[in-house]
């Protein structure tokens, strides 16, 4: 393919992908399947790799991430990002309205109301229609440049296609995690034995500052835009600015409303107090702005906030109900979670009977006693939570809760590791919910994807003694499945076909599916790519595991302990005998140059512009070799930050040349 042909193909693919991206993420009217969309993206990635000089600055491939940012540059905002004054009182809103009226000397005015989203404020700069910078609020005067991470948000335009746009303008909005995405992230963390995140807002904030933009892309952040700034925007009101943002392709929440007076503002606030709970993201109030930009300018600012806007905060609905008891749930990893059993109460649109108490520390902090009346809130949270004890109603006879010492399912003594908040049941091979949980984890979509089975089927198979580990699934016969309730000939055949089909799942899915604690989907992919085979991984030392990307001490120790266990090794052997994929199948990287021919490297430490697996690919693509240990035959030790002193000492002793990341890049250019 010639360069001219590639250029045309890249433009055509880019236009197609942008079109389908807009249909899916902004208009919710997809025309093609996810698979077809991914195929278009793969074609574009391949073309850009072959012709990197033709990659467009707004290429959709930027949305999949891959850039590593070790430090985020500090940027001074052109327009300070001031905070708003807050109120919880309709009376104070009326006072605000009075101040506006006096400030405008009796001139007529109107308001613009929009919901206040519970996320992370972001400022986006566009030049000649192209997104050039994304900066966090920071202290209001300076924020962090997080452009690479923000580009992964698929609902956000990387280039404005409209012809009538200012040379330079700024857009502000709120980055957030949708409720369903946050719930899924927590489910996955719970599934691998990690503590769950407290709320979507803090999780979104942490995600925006992640170093690996590919991981940010996996988190599926979203963004609503609500403010247009610039010298040449040609708008006279905030409502006109919002209309322009929508016309230019920005995602704007459809919940806003123009209000003629403070009475209509109060009606809007009342209307959305309940309705907001059905939105796909958390909200905590309403922002009220004077609509006219000229009037905003006349009203001006105080030292901390604009005089033309105010935030009305909804009070988190809280209600007192009786704590009837505490039950304890055991998860796949053995983590024990206490749950408050409540006298049923109607709260924020649903009847609440139970609320998570998280761990023993939380029970002690609240000083809970069975029979207490407790305050329960939902607020912006997905799961109800107990916030405090209603001490005015406490009966002195109520006894302090003593946390259980033994597993409620198998009666094994619980353990609590140093530095961890949760208690664990160590009987992973004999505790029923742990056994069933491991099998359910194994069959899930991100692992072996056996959708013909399900939670109820696994429960029945376990209770009948037919399945006690994932490997048992591959020994099932049709007669076994016909013993299950409501399972007929056709259903049994579908189940067996699904089990057989799972054998084609790639090695990284198998690795995730076997359920090593702390090894989530992303880490499983990194380990599979780094070690290539189950055998190599199972034989890796603690030190070798630490060399793999994304692997810290906790994960490395967990992997070592897993493969030390003889029962786990027997299970792995059975899965291999059943025909599962135990080797990473990757295409050989195309050779780019001979710059590193016959040169060998050991990679150690953390790097500014690369992950270690990216460095490995780059070395191989340029003719070099990557070794795992230092010897006298080694040519180079490629040293990043935080490299272990033992490696440096050994390299110096053997006369191996130690090079930096910058020196390595110079070698590639020669």
Residue 175 bridge partners (DSSP): 120, 223
Do the beta carbons of residue 44 and residue 17 sit within 8 Å? yes
**Short-list 355, 180, 386, CA closest to 278:** 180
**CA gap 395, 412 in Å, rounded:** 33
Residues of the chain with CATH 1.10.150.20: 432-504, 507-577
**CA gap 346, 445 in Å, rounded:** 35
What residues are labeled active site? 116
**Short-list 252, 225, 119, CA closest to 181:** 119
**CA gap 352, 346 in Å, rounded:** 6
Tokens of 655: 């006369």
Do the beta carbons of residue 359 and residue 410 sit within 8 Å? no
Backbone angles phi, psi at 339, to 5 degrees: -130, 130
Superfamily of domain 75-313: DNA ligase/mRNA capping enzyme (3.30.470.30)
**CA gap 167, 115 in Å, rounded:** 30
Residues of the chain with CATH 2.40.50.140: 318-393
In angstroms, what is the C-alpha Rg of the chain? 29
Superfamily of domain 318-393: Nucleic acid-binding proteins (2.40.50.140)
Q: Name the pTM for this structure.
A: 0.72
> What is the predicted pLDDT for the residue at 311?
94
Architecture of domain 600-669 in this structure: 3-Layer(aba) Sandwich (3.40)
**CA gap 135, 121 in Å, rounded:** 9
Residues of the chain with CATH 3.30.470.30: 75-313
> What is the predicted pLDDT for the residue at 302?
85
Q: Which fold has domain 507-577?
A: DNA polymerase; domain 1 (1.10.150)
Ramachandran quadrant class, 274 (left: phi over 0; alpha: psi -120 to 50; beta: rest): alpha
> What is the predicted pLDDT for the residue at 28?
66
Exposed, middle or buried, 270 (CB in 10 Å: 0-12/13-18/19+)? exposed
Residues of the chain with CATH 3.40.50.10190: 600-669
Q: Which fold has domain 3-64?
A: Helix Hairpins (1.10.287)
> What is the predicted pLDDT for the residue at 586?
63
Superfamily of domain 432-504: 5' to 3' exonuclease, C-terminal subdomain (1.10.150.20)
Residue 320 bridge partners (DSSP): 375
Long-range contacts of 348-355 (CB under 8 A, 24+ apart): 348/277, 348/317, 348/378, 348/379, 349/274, 349/277, 349/278, 352/321, 352/376, 352/378, 352/384, 354/384, 355/383, 355/384, 355/385, 355/386
Point out the residues of the chain with pLDDT beneath 50: none
């Amino acid at each position: 393919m010639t360069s001219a042909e590639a250029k045309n193909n890249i433009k055509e693919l880019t236009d197609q992908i942008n079109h389908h991206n807009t249909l899916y993420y902004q208009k919710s009217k997809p025309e093609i399947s996810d698979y077809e969309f991914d195929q278009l993206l793969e074609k574009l990635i391949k073309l850009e790799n072959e012709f990197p000089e033709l990659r467009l600055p707004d290429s959709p491939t930027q949305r999949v991430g891959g850039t590593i940012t070790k430090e985020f540059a500090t940027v001074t905002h052109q327009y300070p990002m001031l905070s708003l004054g807050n109120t919880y009182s309709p009376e104070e809103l009326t006072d605000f309205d009075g101040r506006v009226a006096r400030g405008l000397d009796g001139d007529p005015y109107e308001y613009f109301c929009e919901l206040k989203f519970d996320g992370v404020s972001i400022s986006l700069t566009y030049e000649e229609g192209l997104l050039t910078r994304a900066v966090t609020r920071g202290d209001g005067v300076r924020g962090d440049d997080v452009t690479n991470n923000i580009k992964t948000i698929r609902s956000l335009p990387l280039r404005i296609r409209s012809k009538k746009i200012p040379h330079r303008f700024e857009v502000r909005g709120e980055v957030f995690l949708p409720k369903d995405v946050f719930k899924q992230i927590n489910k996955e963390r719970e599934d691998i034995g990690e503590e769950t995140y407290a709320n979507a807002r803090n999780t979104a904030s942490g995600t925006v500052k992640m170093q690996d933009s590919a991981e940010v892309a996996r988190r599926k952040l979203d963004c609503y835009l609500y403010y247009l700034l610039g010298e040449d925007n040609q708008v006279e009101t905030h409502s006109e600015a919002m209309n322009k943002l929508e016309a230019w392709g920005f995602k704007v929440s459809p919940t806003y409303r123009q209000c003629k007076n403070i009475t209509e503002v109060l009606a809007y606030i009342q209307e959305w107090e309940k309705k907001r709970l059905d939105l796909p993201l958390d909200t905590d109030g309403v922002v009220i702005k004077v609509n006219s930009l000229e009037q905003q300018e006349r009203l001006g600012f105080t030292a901390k906030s604009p005089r033309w806007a105010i935030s009305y905060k909804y009070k988190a609905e809280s209600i007192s109900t009786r704590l009837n008891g505490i039950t304890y749930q055991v998860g796949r990893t053995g983590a024990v979670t206490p749950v408050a059993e409540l006298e049923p109460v109607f709260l924020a649109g649903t009847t609440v009977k139970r609320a998570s108490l998280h761990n023993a520390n939380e029970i002690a902090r609240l000083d809970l006693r069975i029979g207490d009346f407790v305050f329960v809130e939902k607020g912006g949270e997905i799961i109800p939570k107990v916030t405090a004890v209603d001490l005015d109603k406490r009966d002195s006879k109520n006894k302090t809760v003593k946390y259980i010492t033994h597993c409620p399912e198998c009666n094994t003594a619980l353990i609590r590791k140093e530095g961890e908040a949760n208690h664990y049941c160590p009987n992973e091979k004999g505790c029923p919910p742990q056994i069933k949980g491991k099998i359910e984890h194994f069959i899930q979509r991100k692992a072996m994807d056996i959708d013909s089975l399900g939670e109820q089927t696994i429960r029945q198979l376990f209770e009948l003694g037919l399945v006690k580990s994932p490997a048992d699934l591959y020994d099932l016969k049709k007669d076994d499945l016909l013993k299950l309730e409501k399972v007929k000939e056709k259903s049994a055949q579908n189940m067996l076909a699904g089990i057989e089909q799972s054998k084609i799942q790639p090695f990284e899915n198998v690795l995730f599916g076997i359920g090593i604690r702390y090894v989530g989907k992303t880490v499983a992919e990194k380990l599979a790519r780094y070690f290539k085979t189950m055998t190599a991984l199972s034989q890796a030392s603690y030190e070798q595991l630490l060399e793999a990307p994304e692997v810290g001490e906790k994960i490395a120790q967990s992997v070592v302990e897993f493969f030390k266990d003889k029962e786990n090794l027997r299970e792995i052997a059975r899965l291999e005998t059943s025909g599962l994929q135990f080797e990473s199948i990757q295409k050989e990287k195309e050779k780019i140059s001979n710059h590193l021919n016959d040169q060998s490297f050991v990679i150690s430490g953390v790097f500014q512009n690369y992950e270690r697996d990216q460095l490995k690919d780059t070395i191989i693509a340029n003719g070099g070799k990557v070794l795992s240990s230092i010897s006298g035959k080694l040519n180079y030790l490629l040293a990043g930050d935080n490299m272990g002193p033992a490696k440096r000492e050994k390299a110096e002793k053997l006369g191996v040349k130690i090079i930096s990341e910058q020196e390595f890049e110079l070698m590639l250019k020669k």
